[in-house]
Amino acid sequence: MCATRIAVPGPVVLATHDLSKRYRGRTVVDRVSIAVERGDVYGFLGPNGAGKSTTLRMILGLVRPSGGRVELFGQPQGDRRALARVGAIVESPSLYTYLSGRDNLRMLADLSGGAPAARLEEALVRVDLRDRADDPVRIYSHGMKQRLAIAAALLPRPELIILDEPTNGLDPMGIRDMRDLVRSLAADDGITVLLSSHLLAEVEQVCNRATIIARGSRVWEGEVAGLLAGRRRVRLRARPVERARAIAQTMGAEAREVEPGVLHVTRDEITPAALVARLAAAGVEVDEIVAEAPTLEEMFMSLVAGDRPEEAA
């Protein structure tokens, strides 16, 4: 399921221009430029160590860029009024473990300009922590901490929320809840979201636009739908395999034998059901058929090799 832009395309709320960071002569972020528009759920995709967190830290003013610049709501980095319009979680949730969840929220909201008590309760309900709000955070699970950190980021009603690997360390239920929450932030609250992840599937499910970085450099930016265009495939185990390949090719697909008796059939328009129907009609026996998307590693390999999908204008 691909997310779509929720709000009408609007002005750029966050832009980086040739943003770079070097540590002791080693370049960890190399001239990365992105533009997040109002209403985007923007994915920032890359493997671990690609420079995602460093870029987010530069955007938030935690790390000083070695080159380039950041604009938040049209203001240069360091403008505290612009920062007041941003909610953020960088890496693991940053919470005071010796304070209760409620005290954490009260403090972080107060330092962001304040929020009435009713909003605080509302935020606790939204992240399903109202019953545990008075417990010390040290006894919270990782998922609860993550949800509390999101509540803290949401309390000052930000226009842009930056989430750095928000599903890291969560169980499958927690991951699903987190993705639902991110979608809801955009759909119900109209908040622009910048989400970093090393999971292609996550970005595909949640984001409408994305940037991919590898080894500190941007390798792609555009619509997520365009990222996967021509890359969806079906894994097919059939007999006889040569006949199956010929039928797939007559349907306009590319079919490649990746191991004995197994084909990768690549064509976005071909559904597994349609392919099975054609194969069965032709007397081909289908032992296994699985719809697959390329892994992030495969995407990187193909992008770095120059096989780039259509980039957004």
Binding site for another protein (CB under 8 A): 57, 60-64, 80-81, 83-84, 86, 88, 90-92, 94-99, 103, 107-108, 110-113, 149, 152
Contact present, 191 and 164 (Cβ < 8 Å)? no
Q: Which amino acid is at 135?
A: D
User: What single string gives the DSSP state of each residue in 87-142?
Assistant: EEE-SS----TTSBHHHHHHHHHHHTT---HHHHHHHHHHTT-GGGTTSBGGGS-H
Q: Is 232 helix (H, G, I), strand (E, B) or coil?
A: coil
Rank residues 86 and 207 by Cβ distance to another protein and give the closer one: 86
Rank residues 106 and 179 by Cβ distance to another protein and give the closer one: 106
Q: How far is the CB of 206 from another protein (least distance, A)?
A: 22
Q: How far is the CB of 197 from another protein (least distance, A)?
A: 19
Q: Tell me how far apart the alpha carbons of residues 221 and 311 are, in angstroms, rounded to a whole number.
A: 6
Rank residues 111 and 282 by Cβ distance to another protein and give the closer one: 111
Q: Is 184 helix (H, G, I), strand (E, B) or coil?
A: helix
User: What single string gives the DSSP state of each residue in 240-280?
Assistant: SHHHHHHHHHHTT-EEEEEETTEEEEE-TT--HHHHHHHHH
Rank residues 56 and 248 by Cβ distance to another protein and give the closer one: 56
Q: How far is the CB of 134 from another protein (least distance, A)?
A: 13
Number of C-beta neighbours around residue 262 at 10 A: 16
Q: How far is the CB of 111 from another protein (least distance, A)?
A: 5
Q: Does residue 309 have a cis peptide bond before it, meaning omega lies within 30 degrees of 0?
A: no
Q: Which uninterrupted H or E stretch holds 41? A: strand 41-45
Rank residues 26 and 80 by Cβ distance to another protein and give the closer one: 80
Q: Cα dist. 72→12, 24, 193, 279, 305 in Å?
A: 9, 28, 13, 54, 33
Rank residues 101 and 294 by Cβ distance to another protein and give the closer one: 101
CB neighbour class for 149 (10 Å; exposed up to 12, middle 13-18, buried from 19): buried
Rank residues 113 and 230 by Cβ distance to another protein and give the closer one: 113
Q: How far is the CB of 192 from another protein (least distance, A)?
A: 16
Q: How far is the CB of 119 from another protein (least distance, A)?
A: 16
Q: How far is the CB of 99 from another protein (least distance, A)?
A: 6
